[in-house]
Amino acid sequence: MPPKGWRKDSEGNYPNTSYIKEQEKISIDDLLFPKSIITSLAKESLQNAFQKGEEERRITVSKDAALAMQRSATVFVNHLLMFARMNAKDSNRKSCNDQDIMAALDTLGLGALESILTGKMQEYQEAILWKKQNKVNNAVPGADGDIAMEDDEDDEDDDGREGADADAEPKSRADTEVQQGNAENDKLDGPPVNQEQVPSTRQNDLDLSTKKQKTE
C-alpha cells in the first residue's frame, strides 16, 4: 500500500518516485546566477566602453537593473545550452564542448559573437596557465638563493682551510727543526734541546768567552 497522501493519476495508477520528481516545479529563481557576479560584469563592460582619455567614473547599477540582467543572463545561457546539448546529442556525446557552443550561436543567429567568445576563452586559458606557473615558482621559494648561499659557504670554508694550512706551515717547520735537534742530542747522550732554551745557551757561551779573555 502506498504512503498516505498519495493520489492516483488520471489513469488510476499510483505515481512512482521518478514521476513525482518530474512533476516538481522548478522556477527561474532556482537557476539564477549570483547577482554580485552579474553586477560586476556589467560595471566592467560599462567602464571599458568609456574612452581611454576620460576620467574613471563611479558606476552604479540600480536594484531593478541588476535583477533584470540577472534574469535575462540566466534565460540566455540556458537557452544557448539547450541547443549546445542538442548538438552534442547528435554527435553521440553526453557532454558539451566549445564547438557545440559555437554551433549553438550560429543556430541562434549570433555568429558575430564567436570572435568575442574566442578571445575571452583565450584570455581565460592564459590566466589559468599564469596561475599554474606562479604556483610552481612559489612551491620552492628562494631555491636559487639557497644554492648560491651554499656555494658561498663552501668557498669560505675552503679559504679558511687554506689560511689555516698557510699558518701551520711555519709552525710545522720550526717543530721539525726542534725535533731534529733533539734527535741529534739524544745520539750524543745529551739533554734534549728545547726551542725556548736556545737563547740561554748562546748567552752562556758569551759569558765563558768573556771570562777567558779576562784571565788571559
Please list, in sequence order, all residues whose beta carbon lies within 8 angstroms of the beta carbon of residue 107, skipping any fewer than 6 positions away: 83
In the prediction, which pLDDT does 193 show? Answer: 47
- Whose CA is closest to 77, among 32, 119, 118, 115? 32
Model pLDDT, residue 145: 45
pTM score over 0.75: no
Per-residue model confidence as pLDDT tens for the chain (216 residues)? 445 555 666 666 655 555 556 556 677 677 788 888 888 888 888 877 675 556 667 788 888 998 999 999 988 998 999 999 999 999 898 888 888 888 998 888 888 888 888 888 898 899 999 999 888 888 765 544 444 444 555 555 555 555 555 555 555 555 666 566 566 555 554 554 454 444 555 555 666 666 666 665
Residue whose C-alpha is closest to residue 83's, from 103, 112, 113, 111: 103
Would you state the cell numbers that stand for residue 62, as one nine-digit string? Answer: 540600480
Per-residue pLDDT tens digits for 21-45: 655 667 767 778 888 888 888 888 8
- Using DSSP's 3-state secondary structure scheme, residue 189 falls into coil
Half-sphere exposure of 19 (CA within 13 A, CB side): 8
The alpha carbon dihedral of 125, 131, 134, 135 has a sign of negative
pLDDT digit string, tens, across residues 94-124: 888 888 888 998 888 888 888 888 888 898 8
101 and 117 in contact (C-beta within 8 Å)? yes
